[in-house]
Amino acid sequence: MKQMTCAQMGGPATCSVIISGSTAEEMAKNGGIHVHQNHPEIAKQMDSMTPEDNEKWMADFKPKFDALPEM
Ligand SMILES: [Zn+2]
């Protein structure tokens, strides 16, 4: 299990809610749920992302996830 704050995942810089997941995909999914519930403006941007955008985001996110310490 790894943890990252919402801000680290690309949320608002002021949001320190902890998102956790055991894989990058799981954390991305949990982050998405949190964003949809708490940050409607960012959720709107996320919903308009193309599959290519999503792939790019994941390619950028994966190394960050891998660099996190295991909890
Ligand atoms: Zn947040």
Instruction: Report the alpha-carbon distance of residue 28 to residue 36 in Å, rounded.
Output: 12
Q: For the segment 1-43, what is each residue's pLDDT rounded down to a tens digit?
A: 999 999 999 999 999 999 999 999 999 999 999 999 999 999 9
Nearest to 3 by CA among 25, 23, 19, 26: 19
Letter string b/e over residues 51-66, b meaning 16 or more CB atoms within 10 A of that residue's CB: eeeeeeeeeebeeebe
Distance 41 CA to ligand 1 centre (A): 11
Greater pLDDT, 71 or 19: 19
Distance 37 CA to ligand 1 centre (A): 9
User: How crowded is residue 38: how many other Cβ atoms within 10 Å of its Cβ?
Assistant: 14
Distance 35 CA to ligand 1 centre (A): 6
Distance 45 CA to ligand 1 centre (A): 14
